[in-house]
A and B are shown apart, each in its own frame.
Chain A
């Protein structure tokens, strides 16, 4: 029973619970057993509690027995990136700085999951404060790519992607600032979606770069992702940047909107540096849409090459400000041998933060300094507008864009840790959607010659997630690459 449970999608689990094929407790037991079997290899979780999961599952079963199910997600485990506040749980953000910090409140997204009867399942590993593309910047552990344990799972939401590929959770939440959902989803072969900036409340998401951060789902199928998005989307009075917009029934829209669509292929995303394997798989996906009657048009986004430099001004600038509060005074790591307040700040921060976080704080402080602000930050904001304009112009003629999600499949651990620039280029295809505030997602579309997952990226118009999901679903329902699982442990 348990091996069949862990291979199921969220939709299948939901159906099984409804008709009584299994109980939430059986689901919880199956995933606990799975984590106990493979977690030593994958190391996706910073923390989890089997006891806590079972308790939630029992409560869910009791509700259902009384006919008071809270909906399609009642009884389904969702694993959470350790950057979203969950009341009473440690909130480390992958950092020593917050090693002992316990969140006294729920993020809005977490509160919504609770209301839907979701079983909150463990805290997932990540690059420290979501800064990184390989989850090697976690202060706690290196998460391994389930398809090849020597390789990285991508990042910063490496745990969120790996736990789906390893079947340690049916579905999970991550966050995306420059590709932190889509890139690991691509490298682990699962569906991962970054909603439009403003669709999901950021309240309780520990800020990295406030104008770029969004919460989004990881799943095996597009349908599962659409269902989870349904739970967390919507304006929140606690987040002034969340947007008032009508939330459609995403799952219903998947079958209602059947195309054919007009899809743009931006030439800037298919140039040098793109591996042959990735190019071939993405082109296959494009060919699929063509056979389904979609019109495929070549488009250009001329400011694409400016996205990475602009991102590495804006994101560190905001990060340097957002991370100023971790200072050794209140709830963070506090250095034991500080003699005055200056030393307390310097030593606590020197000891509490890892190298990549320090690098970005220094970068951000520099670009905001008086005398440099106009040349860097103000200019970067102007270019950001140009990048957005590129997309908005293109969206006048196409429904969505198809690009590769990453230039290459997963690389080996340690390969890029000494070269920050090489690491930053992992996100070359994903950063623009954050800068422009668009909807974007990874759809698994094949494997490399070495058997490593590959995905394509769909970029949709702001707040038109339903169309983007429908386009993704058209491919995904026939291929279901995200439901494939690598052999792990005693499999």
Chain B
């Protein structure tokens, strides 16, 4: 029998805010343990939570980005369990009235090759609710150490419907989710720093069946490839188990990335009764249509929309757009340059290949680059008016990146202007023809491509400054003479 998997994801995203969810203390990753705390974070007797408005704003924007419904009212609940990572032994969260309901995330699956757009799908969201993060435990020998720096950081839990069917889809979902959030500046989504964490609910069923199997919750998927590998393994494990006549029992398992296996954490009997009830310290939040519209207006264009627009508006090939669209700053750079000089293809090429290479080598963002969009447009203008070749343009770009000078200055100083002087070129070409009788013969015999072998030496002799069109024309004339 063939089996298929059904997967639902629960993704925890740390929102990008100055301070924690319910107090003024800042949250950052990597500080000395227990330095980002105060009386509220530590749950000292008598303290009260105060809402972080920025976290509310950003959560609403996450919802609006994915087309979720933002209900008029959301409220706060306490979720209880005893564990030292939670100073109050309850977590403030949203139980039955979350801030975002429904929504979809568009994903792109891998295409047949990197030059071909893959299939696009939408993954339905169930909800997203806002809560406070917990601290971090480190177990050392007989002791356990607690760091409350992370405790109280604003955390948005995004839950999908069980509509993901393969590990690749889960991978594509997380990649897209992360990109959307980065685009809108709502979260950093750095999985290594715990900025994005993912649990997966996985079940299998016979192919064609429409009922859901018993689910297994998979935890500790702490990288995007970990999500893919963990889910892949767990699906295979479940199929193997069922084929061996075993029953899948509801349980929580842990992905061990080092060993590449999932191991049992706990079965359902140990499920908590969280004793949820509305937090009496916090008032429900009312969200007006005006506020929603105001926050919606501040959202940027969505990644795949931008990619589609680049293809249709600028007639760019898919491959170029797939390099550009995950890098919104670089997209902005590209579009600003195109506004200055309308050659989108060449600009996109230089931006996606040469500029991007220089930026990543230097570890800079486009905004920090010494090349401005106007300067890049100036460079392309020199190509388009025949002053320099595309090859020279690539070299000039490197020079511009290093010195911050304009293309004109560099081209002038280095004397890089193309030669279209037929007298000078004629002498060089004749010399090349004399030195290479074989390709000349081949060309004369009707092999038109043979002429290309002759152009290289000409370019070399002119240090790349010969205008390729002039060389082509002149060479044909001289051979046929």
| CB contact between B42 and one of A241, A330, A345, A377 (< 8 Å): that residue | A330
Encode contact with B along A102-113: 1 for CB under 8 Å, 0 otherwise: 011101000000
A369 and B280 contacting across the interface, CB-CB below 8 Å: no
> In the complex, which of the residues A104, A209, A238, A368 contacts B275, with contact meaning CB atoms closer than 8 Å?
A368
The 23 listed contacts between A and B (C-beta, < 8 Å) are: A85-B45, A93-B45, A104-B44, A202-B48, A203-B46, A203-B48, A204-B46, A207-B281, A210-B280, A210-B281, A237-B50, A238-B50, A240-B281, A241-B48, A321-B90, A329-B146, A341-B83, A345-B82, A368-B80, A368-B275, A368-B276, A373-B275, A373-B276
B49 / chain A contacts, CB cutoff of 8 Å:
240
Q: Knowing that A203-B48, A318-B280 are A-B contacts, what are 19 other residue pairs whose CB atoms are under 8 Å apart, sorted by A's residue number?
A: A91-B46, A105-B39, A202-B48, A204-B47, A207-B46, A240-B282, A240-B283, A241-B48, A321-B78, A321-B80, A321-B277, A327-B82, A329-B146, A341-B84, A368-B80, A368-B276, A369-B275, A370-B274, A373-B276
* Given A91-B45, A93-B45, A104-B44, residue A240 in contact with residue B277 (CB < 8 A): no
Query: Which residues between 31 and 83 of chain B lie within 8 Å of chain A, taking CB atoms?
Result: 39, 42-51, 78, 80, 82-83
Question: B273 at the A/B interface (Cβ < 8 Å)?
Answer: yes
Q: Is A300 an interface residue (CB 8 A)?
A: no
B89 at the binding interface (Cβ < 8 Å): yes
Q: Is A288 an interface residue (CB 8 A)?
A: no
CB distance from A172 to the nearest CB of B (A): 18
User: Interface majority SS on A: helix, strand, loop or mixed?
Assistant: loop
For A93, A205, A370, which residue has the most chain B Cβ atoms within 10 angstroms?
A370
Contact B87 A330 (CB under 8 A): yes
Chain A: residues with CB nearer than 8 A to chain B? Answer: 84-85, 91, 93, 98, 101, 103-105, 107, 202-207, 209-211, 237-241, 317-318, 320-321, 324-325, 327, 329-331, 341, 345, 365, 368-370, 373, 377
Residues of B within 8 A of A373 (CB): 275-277
The CA-CA distance from A98 to B39 in the complex, in Å, is 15
Contact B280 A211 (CB under 8 A): yes
Q: Which residues of B contact A202 (CB under 8 A)?
A: 48
Task: Name which residue of chain B comes closest to A349, CB basis.
Answer: B82
* Nearest chain A CB to B13 CB, angstrom units: 24
A368 touches B283 (CB 8 A): no
Contact A324 B89 (CB under 8 A): yes
Residues of B within 8 A of A98 (CB): 45
Indicate if the CB atoms of A241 and B87 lie closer than 8 Å: no
Nearest-neighbour CB distance to chain A for B74, whole angstroms, equals: 14
A327 vs B86: C-alpha distance in the bound complex, in angstroms?
Answer: 11
Chain B nearest CB, measured from A320 CB (Å): 8
Contact B87 A325 (CB under 8 A): yes
Docked Cα-Cα span, A329 to B44, in Å, equals 12
Which chain B residues in 239-282 approach chain A with CB under 8 Å? Answer: 273-277, 280-282
Q: If A370-B275, A373-B277 touch, does A325 touch B46 (CB 8 Å cutoff)?
A: no
In angstroms, how far is the closest chain B Cβ from the Cβ of A380?
11
CB-CB < 8 A to A327: which residues of B?
82, 89
Contacting residues, chain A, for B78 (C-beta < 8 A): 321
A241 lies within 8 A of B90 (CB): no
Q: 1/0 per residue B456-481: CB within 8 Å of A?
A: 00000000000000000000000000
Partner of A331, one of B44, B48, B89: B44
Q: List the B side residues contacting A203 at CB < 8 Å.
A: 46-48
CA distance A325 to B45 in the complex (A): 8
CB-based contact A240/B51 at 8 Å: yes
A96 to B245, CA, bound (A): 56
User: Within 8 Å of chain A (Cβ to Cβ): is B88?
Assistant: yes
The answer to whether A104 touches B39 (Cβ under 8 A) is yes
A369, B80: Cα distance in complex, Å:
11
What is the bound-complex CA distance between A327 and B44, given in angstroms? 12
Closest residue of B by beta carbon distance from A342:
B82
Tell me if B144 counts as interface (CB < 8 A to partner A): yes
Q: Which residues of B contact A85 (CB under 8 A)?
A: 45-46
State whether B82 touches A324 (Cβ < 8 A): yes
Q: Are B48 and A365 in contact (CB under 8 A)?
A: no
> Interface size class for chain B?
20 to 34
Interface centre among B51, B80, B89, B280 (most CB of A within 10 A): B280
**Is there an interface contact between B48 and A238, defined as CB atoms closer than 8 Å?**
yes
Asked whether B277 lies within 8 Å of A368 as measured between CB atoms, the reply is yes
CA distance A207 to B281 in the complex (A): 10
Q: Is the CB of A241 within 8 A of B88?
A: no
Task: List the B side residues contacting A377 at CB < 8 Å.
Answer: 277
Q: How far is the CA of A103 from the CA of B144 in the complex (A)?
A: 26
CB-CB nearest 4 A-B residue pairs? A324-B89, A210-B280, A211-B280, A368-B275
Residues of B within 8 A of A321 (CB): 78, 80, 90, 275, 277
Smallest CB separation, A406 vs chain B (Å):
27
A204 to B281, CA, bound (A): 13
Determine whether the beta carbon of B48 is less than 8 Å from that of A239: yes
CA distance A370 to B78 in the complex (A): 14
- CB contacts (< 8 Å) of B42 on chain A: these are 330-331
Expressed in whole angstroms, the Cα–Cα distance for A341 and B84 within the complex equals 8
> Which chain A residues border B282 with CB–CB below 8 Å?
240-241
Min C-beta distance of B221 to chain A, whole Å: 25
Complex CA–CA separation, A204 to B90 (angstroms): 19
Residue numbers in B under 8 Å from A84 (CB-CB):
46
Report the bound CA distance from A458 to B262 in whole Å.
Answer: 66
B283–A241 touching, CB < 8 Å: yes
CB-based nearest A residue for B79: A321
A443 to B282 CA separation, bound complex (whole angstroms): 33
Most buried by A among B44, B50, B80, B90: B44
The answer for the CA separation of A328 and B264 in the assembled complex, in Å, is 30
Q: Are A101 and B89 in contact, CB atoms less than 8 angstroms apart? A: no
Given A239-B48, A240-B50, does the pair A325, B43 have CB atoms closer than 8 Å?
yes
Give the shortest distance, in Å, between A316 (CB) and chain B (any CB). 12
**Residues of A contacting B280 in the complex (Cβ-Cβ under 8 angstroms):** 209-211, 241, 318
Which of B46, B82, B283 sits near A107, CB closer than 8 Å? B46
Among candidates A105, A204, A317, A369, residue contacting B273 with C-beta atoms closer than 8 Å: A369
- The chain B residue sitting closest to A213, CB to CB, is B280
Chain A residue numbers with a CB within 8 Å of B80 are 321, 324, 368
How far is the CB of B430 from the nearest CB of chain A, in Å? 87
Chain B: CB-nearest residue to A381: B278
Closest to A212 in B: B280
CB distance from A87 to the nearest CB of B (A): 11
CB distance from A98 to the nearest CB of B (A): 7
Q: Which residues of A contact B144 (CB under 8 A)?
A: 341
Smallest Cβ-Cβ distance to B43: which chain A residue: A325
Task: Given A210-B280, A341-B144, decide whether A240 and B45 contact each other with a Cβ distance below 8 A.
Answer: no
In the assembled complex, which residues on chain A have CB atoms less than 8 Å from the CB atom of B82?
A: 324, 327, 345
CB of A324 within 8 A of CB of B48, answer no
